[in-house]
Structure 1
Amino acid sequence: MTTPIQPALDGTVPVASVSNSHRQAEDYEAWLAEVWPKFIAVAATGRTFTCYQVADENRLSDPPNPQAHWGRLMTLLRDEGYIRTAGWACSDRPTTHHSGVRTWKGTAAARREAAA
């Protein structure tokens, strides 16, 4: 869904600028193919991270349904054995007002996947 561009008072239409942080994928499978390798790479480092940190650092697009699909991605990565829960932290996402979010850490399976 795109937001209409409001013409200026002189009648000109400004060029729409879409930052990477505000891109939204229209297809879940295509979005998953885009973000999956980035999360595997971060998991392979062994550092503790939040979902938003990885998305922000890699300027990943939002999924078709951000409220559900980010969490689903993390569940898929956990179920596949690439990440495990590491604890909780305050979110860096500007719209969350520092609410608590789960932190994740990569597993040996993620390190093997990145080495392959």
Structure 2
Amino acid sequence: MSATVQPLLDGTFPDPVQQQSADYETWLAAVWPAFIAAAATGRTFTCYEVAHANRLPDPPNRKAHWGRLMTLLRDEGYIRTANWACSDRPTTHHSGVRTWKGTAAARREAAT
């Protein structure tokens, strides 16, 4: 059973980026392919860049699950730490964030 998106009071529908998934596993399945694709490019990226470019939904727990996703991708061998950068996320006031780079495993995964 899929959830129905309710219109806002003005009749418009919420931006998918602002939507939040109900459970972690569903959210993880939805966002995983976008991060594998980003890793397969071989370019350096931040978590927010990928989420924003692909209009990904927010996880159930925004404070913990984005970081957990990146840890899972790293532990699975798809990404590695690249460096640090200033965040592009509007609410962070350009604070420092980790940057990531894809591995050969990510390129193989994207090719299959």
**What TM-score does the superposition give when structure 1 sets the normalisation length?**
0.87
2:17 is equivalent to residue 33 of structure 1: no
Q: CA RMSD in A?
A: 1.1
The residue type paired with residue 26 of structure 1 is: A
For structure 2, the 5+ residue unaligned runs are 1-7
Query: Which one has a bigger Cα radius of gyration?
Result: 1
CA distance in 2, matches of 1:14, 1:67: 29
- State how 1:1-116 maps to structure 2 within 5 Å: 13-116=9-112
4+ residue runs over 6 A deviation: none
SS of 1:92 mapped into structure 2: coil
CA distance in 2, matches of 1:56, 1:69: 16
For structure 1, the 5+ residue unaligned runs are 6-12
How far apart are residue 88 of structure 1 and its match?
Answer: 0.2
**Deviates further, 75-84 or 15-24:** 15-24
Aligned residue pairs, count: 105
Match of 1:9 in 2: none
**What TM-score does the superposition give when structure 2 sets the normalisation length?**
0.90
